[in-house]
Every structure is written in C-alpha cells, then in structure tokens.
C-alpha cells in the first residue's frame, strides 16, 4: 500500500480523496492555485504546494509542475479525481515515466475509449449494442452523405472530451452545415481535437450508467446502475440509483454487457459504461468514462462499497475481495448537484463570499463540499460547489428525505440552484420515474 498520495485536483473531490486516504492511514499532498490558497483541501492535506496562477490551464493542468511536486515530496501515487487530468493519457504516462503510480485506467485504455469513435468500433466488434451511426466524418460532404443514410434527426458528436461539448442536434438537412462547423469549432477549442462522428438521435430515452471496478487479477465487478437522465443542455443535474426503469432481468443484461466491455478493453480501476435505454427496453453503448464519476456517491450509498478506497487498493496491486454475488442494491439513493448559479438569469455562474453556511444532516444524509463560512468562491472553475446525497429504504422515502435536506441547506453569499432541485423533485415525471434525457428541454420549450 502507498504511504503518500498526491491529489491532483481541487474542491469537493480533492477532499473526498483526502478523507479516504486518512482513513487508510495514507499521508496526503495537496496542490493548489494562487486563487485556491484558502481552499479547504489545502488545509486538510498533510502537505500542500502552490503550482501556479488561478486559471486551471496554468495550475491544475500544469502536468510538469504536479509531477515535480510529487517527486519532490516523495509521493508514490497521484489521484486525479474527476475532470482536469483524470482522463489524460499523456499525464498518466508522465507519472509512470517518473516512477509515480497514476490512480486510474491504463494509458492505452484511456486512449482507446477516450476516442469515442474508436470506442464505438471496439464495442461493436465485441458484440455490445451501439447506437446506429457512422465513423468519423472529416468533411461536410462526408457528413451529408452519412446523414442521408442515418436519417434525421441525428446528433453530431465530438470524438474527444465530454461534458456535453461538441454535440449538436440536427433535426433536418438544412441544419447540418452550421451544426457541423460549430461542433467542430467547439470541440477544437475545448479538447484540441475537432474530429466528429454522427449518431441517430434516440428520443424519449433514459441515460443509464453502470459502475465498474476491475483489478489486475482479471476480476470485474459491476456495482449496478445509475439513472442520470435529468439533464439540462446535456449536463447532468440529478442522479439516482437504482433506476426505476431497470428490471432485474434488464440489470442482468446490462451487467453482462458491461463486464464484456471491460474485459474486451482490459480495464483496470474504477470506470463507468454509459448507455441509452429506449422505452422498449433496448440499450445501446454510448461511451466509457475511464475515471471516477461525479455521481459515484449514489452507488456507494446503495452498495456500501467505497469506490475511492478501492481505486487506491487496486492501483497498489491488491485484489478485489468483493464478488458479484456480494453486490446488493437494497436501498435507494439520490444525488443533487448544488451549483453556484442563478436560475433566474439562465443559470449564470455566481461567485462571492459564503456569509452563512448550514449543512443538512440526519441519518443517511451526505454533503460533499469544499465550502466553509467565509470562503470566497473563485471565478476560474466549475460552478458545482457541493453534492447533496441521501439514501432510504424506498425511493419515495429517499425523495422526501432529499426534499427535507434541500430545505434545511443554507448557503448565503452566492446564488445557487437548491430551489430548482426542490421543484424537480415535485415534478410528476420525476415522481413516477418516467423522465427522460429530453424532459427538461421539452418542459422549458
């Protein structure tokens, strides 16, 4: 087991990893930007080092600076959290070249599955159902030809990255040209890769993801599903587990496909396979996330398996002791992403100093955050400031528990979206579990 780990991230996920390390008896090292000098993860870690100015490009994405700190302080491994460098194979290779273990997927798997076009082909060859579509379309002429074969409506999607960037919906042929060029430009700007492919647009579908843990001994563990269908502009807002729409029979099919996918690519560590599920019960591979997910706590709450600790154990060479037959999903968990944004002004990001903070509590209520009273939220990073997670014996109880927890939460000093979540939890389509990925877009149209 490692004796010291550097956490190459910030905010609530850095704190989540620090806490797991402390419980395992592992010393922690934080890195921070000048804008994060007063951040909570800096004070919670055993050691902390400044690696650059506020913008992430000059600090948290500065690979050389992070590796230099890790070597200088004697860290044996680096945990990247999610986002930032978590799916950067160049960084993972740099770590390994410097004798530092990268707590994540192997470089070759990140490259293979991070290229969404290559991932589609890999899954198709393995026999995992993929969304009808085409491979890369280098030119507009190629896109027009393939679009005619696929049929409208369709989605243009970036080969690289994620987070909803580089995705455009095309309803009719006349929308194809501007969508093609704007998607390519956005993908190039966000990921340095403007390559695109296209898929048939499946409507009224569920976004279902399956959580994986894989060790170096060939063991593959699938920890059930999460329903991530409540989305705004392709961004997840709220997640729950298990999914109302997934029967025991369908869960077995999804588990088998997910295990097959993981074994096909030789996966290692924690990862997620994302699917689209039609109303007829047919599921299609969408993509693989070769990292920890923002919404991993709902799986932890339902199964009792600590994903971060297992990431660390697997990276250190330990074998999984949890078997598939041990996995139980007896409770129901819900996660709400609390963002510093103004719902009254198109969810514009909000910055400021936290004047008053009251964290909701009670049995089976979890509040993952880096906030504290007096903390000033800097303008350089993602707007998510907390994750509120609850679990209960039934879904109805979990909904009521989340409503109560949201009402109890107090964050003064910035605008936030707690009331939006309270409203969503009362929506008939959420209460009966029939909401789909296009639900909010249609409701707000």
Residue 148, burial from CB neighbour count under 10 angstroms (0-12, 13-18, 19+): exposed
Q: Are strands 27-33 and 47-52 parallel, antiparallel or unpaired?
A: parallel
CB 242, CB 254: distance < 8 Å: no
**Four-point Cα dihedral 414, 348, 365, 300, nearest 10:** -140
Q: Determine if the peptide bond prior to 35 is cis (ω within 30°).
A: no
Rg (CA), the chain: 21
State how far the alpha carbon of 427 is from the alpha carbons of 390, 391, 409, 423, 435, in Å.
19, 19, 21, 7, 9
DSSP symbol at 202: -
DSSP symbol at 371: -
Query: Strand (E) positions, 196-263?
Result: 196-200, 206-214, 220-232, 235-241
CB 19, CB 25: distance < 8 Å: no
Annotated catalytic residue 291: yes
DSSP symbol at 394: S
Three-class DSSP category at 232: strand
Tokens representing residue 395 in the block = 């879904």
Strand partners, 160: none
Tokens representing residue 276 in the block = 């689209």
- Backbone dihedral region of 11: left (phi > 0), alpha (psi from -120 to 50 degrees) or beta? left
DSSP H helices in 98-139:
107-114, 116-126
CB 276, CB 131: distance < 8 Å: yes
DSSP symbol at 347: T
**Four-point Cα dihedral 425, 427, 432, 437, nearest 10:** -90
Listed residue (106, 119, 294) closest to 215, CA to CA? 106
Q: Which of 159, 226, 291, 366 is catalytic?
A: 291
CB 413, CB 356: distance < 8 Å: yes
CB 227, CB 241: distance < 8 Å: yes
Listed residue (12, 48, 54) closest to 33, CA to CA? 54
Active site (catalytic) residues: 291
């Amino acid at each position: 087991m490692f004796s010291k780990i550097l956490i190459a991230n910030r905010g609530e996920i850095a704190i989540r990893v620090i806490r797991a390390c402390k419980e395992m008896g592992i010393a922690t090292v934080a890195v921070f930007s000048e804008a994060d000098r007063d951040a909570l993860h800096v004070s919670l870690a055993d050691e902390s080092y400044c690696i650059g100015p506020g913008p992430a490009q000059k600090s948290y994405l500065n690979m050389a600076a992070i590796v230099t700190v890790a070597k200088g302080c004697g860290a044996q491994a680096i945990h990247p959290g999610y986002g930032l460098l978590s799916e950067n194979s160049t960084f993972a290779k740099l770590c390994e070249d410097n004798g530092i273990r990268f707590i994540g997927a192997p470089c070759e798997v990140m490259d293979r599955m991070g290229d969404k076009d290559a991932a589609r082909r890999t899954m198709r060859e393995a026999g995992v159902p993929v969304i009808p579509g085409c491979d890369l379309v280098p030119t507009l002429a190629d896109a027009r030809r393939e679009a005619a074969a696929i049929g409208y409506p369709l989605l243009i999607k970036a080969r690289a990255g994620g987070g909803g960037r580089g995705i455009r919906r095309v309803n009719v042929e006349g929308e194809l040209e501007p969508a093609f060029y704007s998607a390519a430009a956005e993908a190039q700007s966000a990921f340095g890769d403007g390559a695109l492919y296209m898929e048939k647009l499946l409507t009224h579908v569920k976004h279902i993801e399956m959580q994986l843990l894989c060790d170096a001994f060939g063991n593959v563990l699938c920890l059930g599903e999460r329903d991530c269908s409540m989305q705004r502009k392709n961004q997840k807002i709220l997640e729950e587990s298990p999914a109302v729409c997934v029967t025991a029979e369908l869960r077995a099919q999804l588990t088998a496909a997910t295990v097959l996918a993981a074994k096909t690519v030789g996966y290692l560590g924690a990862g997620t396979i994302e699917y689209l599920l039609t109303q007829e019960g047919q599921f299609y591979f969408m993509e693989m996330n070769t990292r920890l997910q923002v919404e991993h706590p709902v799986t932890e709450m339902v199964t009792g398996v600590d994903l971060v600790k297992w990431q660390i154990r697997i990276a250190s060479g330990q074998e999984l002791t949890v078997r598939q037959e041990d996995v139980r999903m007896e409770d129901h968990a819900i996660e709400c992403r609390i963002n510093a944004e103004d719902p009254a002004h198109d969810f514009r990001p909000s910055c400021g100093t936290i004047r008053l903070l009251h964290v909701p509590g009670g049995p089976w209520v979890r509040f993952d955050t880096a906030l504290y009273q007096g903390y000033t939220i800097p303008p350089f990073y993602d707007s998510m400031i907390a994750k509120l997670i609850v679990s209960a014996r039934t879904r109805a109880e979990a909904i009521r528990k989340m409503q109560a927890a949201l009402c109890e939460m107090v964050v003064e000093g910035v605008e936030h979206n707690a009331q939006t979540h309270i409203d969503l939890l009362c929506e008939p389509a959420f209460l009966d579990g029939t909401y789909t990925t296009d639900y909010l877009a249609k409701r707000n149209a």
